[in-house]
Every structure is written in C-alpha cells, then in structure tokens.
Amino acid sequence: MATAAKRATIYLDPKLHKALRLKAVETSRSVSELVNEAVKEALAEDAEDLAAFRERAGEPLISYEEMVKRLREDGRI
C-alpha cells in the first residue's frame, strides 16, 4: 500500500467484515488492500458509465413501448 495512505473509519456489516477477513487471509492481503481495490473498481466503473452517458447524450430518446417492440422484433424477448 502507498506510504501516503489516509486513515478512515468505516462501519461494515458484520457478515461482510467476516467475509473480507476470510478473503484477506486466503489471498495473503490486508482488509485495507481489498477495500481499496473494491473502491477503485467501483469508481472506475462509475467513470465508464458517465463516459458512456456523455457519448450517447445526442442520441434520440425512444419510448419504453418502442424499446419493447424492438426487442421483440430482434427476438430478444
């Protein structure tokens, strides 16, 4: 972990905390490393979603009914 790490207090569900501790032991990593990795992945996913929204901002909107119709025509539902 980086030497300039910041300390924070978080409150986890007891079952989640137990699962994290078990995974930490099984992977020879710390709970902090696992939490940092999960937060980074979640933030990266959010950034990807926002980029996709920006890319599609100019697309025309279609109604729910139209989307269902298209899905049926394509055999997806």
Structure tokens belonging to residue 57: 């901002």
For the chain, what percent of residues have pLDDT higher than 70? 97
pLDDT at 19: 98
Question: Could you tell me the residue ranges of all domains in the chain?
Answer: 14-73
Q: Quick one: pLDDT band at residue 66, thresholds 50, 70, 90? A: very high
Q: Quick one: pLDDT band at residue 1, thresholds 50, 70, 90? A: low
Residue where the block lists tokens 């992945």: 41
CA atoms within 13 A on the CB side of 1: 13
* Beta-carbon contacts of residue 12 (< 8 Å; ≥ 6 apart): 20
Check whether 2 has a pLDDT greater than 60. no
Model pTM greater than 0.75? no
